[in-house]
């Protein structure tokens, strides 16, 4: 998690000092948190995430909306089921699923995929 925290700060374009000042927190406390040496209160964590461009309210609202949509999905075939499950995975989950599915398909097909399938797998599997 330490590495991800550092990446979030770098990609935000803000310095740790700027973030700490904007959330009224000592820089040393923010730095300890980002290095994984301490925790933050939920209020401070929310404020830091907001400074980093992560809107927890939107993430939570999105999850609730997705949950409500689940009841309206029409799943009538195995393809519909797989499509539904895949669409509800986060990026790491999608890549893990693709890796395992590709392995099973290779075993079943004697390791022969169309070149375009190989290209897509290479571009999609960036986290694992």
Spell out the SS3 assignment of 83-127.
HHHHHCCCHHHHHHHHHHHHHHHHHHHCCCCCHHHHHHHHHHCCC
Tell me how far CA of residue 5 lies from CA of 34, 37, 60, in angstroms: 6, 12, 20
Closest CA to 125 of 91, 101, 82: 91
Fold topology of 2-58: 434 Repressor (Amino-terminal Domain) (1.10.260)
Cβ contact 99:128 at 8 Å:
yes
Q: What DSSP element (H or E) covers 12?
A: helix 2-12
Per-10-residue mean pLDDT for the chain, 128 residues long? 77 91 94 90 91 88 75 79 87 89 86 83 75
pTM exceeds 0.75, yes or no: no
Domain borders along the chain are 2-58, 74-124
């Amino acid at each position: 998690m330490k590495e991800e925290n550092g990446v979030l700060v770098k990609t935000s374009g803000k310095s740790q000092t700027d973030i700490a000042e904007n959330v009224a927190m000592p820089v040393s406390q923010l730095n300890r948190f980002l290095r994984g040496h301490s925790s933050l209160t939920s209020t401070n964590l929310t404020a830091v995430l907001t400074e980093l461009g992560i809107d927890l309210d939107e993430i939570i609202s999105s999850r609730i909306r997705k949950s409500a949509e689940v009841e309206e999905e029409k799943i009538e075939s195995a393809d519909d089921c797989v499509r539904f499950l895949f669409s509800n995975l986060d990026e790491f989950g999608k890549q893990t699923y693709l890796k395992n599915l590709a392995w099973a398909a290779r075993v079943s097909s004697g390791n022969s995929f169309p070149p375009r399938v190989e290209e897509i797998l290479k571009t999609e599997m960036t986290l694992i």
